């Protein structure tokens, strides 16, 4: 009986993980449009018009511990210093899209 239960449990686990749809990845193209509408005023071309040292260039993001989508999502959501919080203005999915765009652009050197 224990063996049958173990096999059934294993089959359930396999089906649970094998047939769940994958999580949707953030959409950098949508993020680019959102960035242009909400962020480019201060961050055009990956720059930072308020604090030039803290640009969105890959080197600066790495230096300040911001080179991850999670870190960017947190900063965009909560704001910090002169940067306003976008929680409530943008949906969480939109903030994820912006973060994907920023990381992608940083990887390309904002070209």
How many folded domains does the chain comprise?
Answer: 1
CA distances, 29 to each of 16, 25, 59, 79 (Å): 31, 12, 23, 23
| Residue 11 located in a structural domain | no
Q: What is the pLDDT of residues 33-82, one digit of tens each?
A: 999 999 999 999 999 999 999 999 999 999 999 999 999 999 999 999 99
Q: Per-residue DSSP letters for 39-83?
A: THHHHGGG--SS-TTS-SSHHHHHHTT--SHHHHHHHHHH-BTTB
The confidence band for 10, taking pLDDT boundaries of 50, 70 and 90, is low
| Residue 56 located in a structural domain | yes
Q: The whole model's pTM is what?
A: 0.78
CATH number at residue 38: 1.10.760.10
| Residue 10 located in a structural domain | no
What pLDDT is stored for residue 21 in this prediction? 46
The confidence band for 4, taking pLDDT boundaries of 50, 70 and 90, is confident
Alpha-carbon torsion 22, 79, 105, 45, what sign?
A: positive
| Residue 19 located in a structural domain | no
DSSP 8-state code for residue 88: T
| Residue 100 located in a structural domain | yes
What pLDDT is stored for residue 16 in this prediction? 60
């Amino acid at each position: 009986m224990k063996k049958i239960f173990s096999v059934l449990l294993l089959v359930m686990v396999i089906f649970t993980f094998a047939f769940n749809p994958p999580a949707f990845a953030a959409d950098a193209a949508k993020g680019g449009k959102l960035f242009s509408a909400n962020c480019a005023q201060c961050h055009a071309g990956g720059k930072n018009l308020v604090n030039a040292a803290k640009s969105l260039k890959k080197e600066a993001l790495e230096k300040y511990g911001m080179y991850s989508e999670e870190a960017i999502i947190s900063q965009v959501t909560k704001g910090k210093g002169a940067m306003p919080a976008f929680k409530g203005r943008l949906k969480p999915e939109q903030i994820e899209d912006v973060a994907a765009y920023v990381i992608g652009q940083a990887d390309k050197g904002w070209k």
